[in-house]
Chain A
Amino acid sequence: MILTFLRRLLQGLPLPLKVGSVCPDFSAVDTHGNSISEQDLKGKRAVLWFYPKADTPG
């Protein structure tokens, strides 16, 4: 855990957002073409999973 932190720090890589932080502002687009922001996450629990590429295994 600490080693991972140090390695990422040394490599200059950003660490993922931490537990307890406030969901940051953002804008995105859904598959209907609607604009989405952090406001759309309010009021209901959500799982956000980032993936590298559409239609690839995993």
Chain B
Amino acid sequence: MQGNGFRDRIQDFQSAGVRVIGVSLDSVEDNRAFQQAQGYSFALWSDINRSMSLNFGAVEDANASYARRLTFVIGPDGIVEQAEVTKNISSQADALLQFLDS
């Protein structure tokens, strides 16, 4: 599970001063249950009106049922520092930490 990679290295993200936030089209209730079941200490945001997914390019239109697996790094100034289609779920957290450290 993609989130588990982040969960297992959450302290490294915190030490680097980086917030980790998962985003999906799921309801708040579904994401809360997911968060609790997996023991995620990071945020999960429900993109109810699809404004995030549309503006970040994770869905094609407002009727989409699922968000594409995209990952972004947003700087403290709101500038996009990294944007990628998530390919390797299991090594993603490690790769991001390397990028953040570079």
Chain A residues with CB under 8 Å of chain B are: 12-31, 33, 36, 38, 41-58
Could you say which of B30, B96, B100 contacts A54, with CB atoms under 8 Å apart? B30
Bound-complex Cα distance A57 to B19 (A): 22
Could you say which of B35, B49, B56, B96 contacts A17, with CB atoms under 8 Å apart? B56
The residue in chain B whose Cβ has the minimal distance to the Cβ of A21 is B80
Q: What is the predominant secondary structure among interface residues of chain B facing chain A?
A: mixed
Q: What is the predominant secondary structure among interface residues of chain A facing chain B?
A: loop
Is there contact, CB below 8 Å, between A46 and B44?
no
Known contacts A26-B56, A50-B68, A56-B1, then 20 further A-B pairs from the complex at CB < 8 Å, ordered by chain A residue: A13-B60, A16-B84, A17-B56, A19-B83, A21-B80, A22-B80, A29-B28, A30-B43, A44-B18, A45-B76, A46-B21, A46-B73, A47-B72, A49-B23, A49-B70, A50-B56, A53-B24, A54-B24, A54-B44, A57-B1
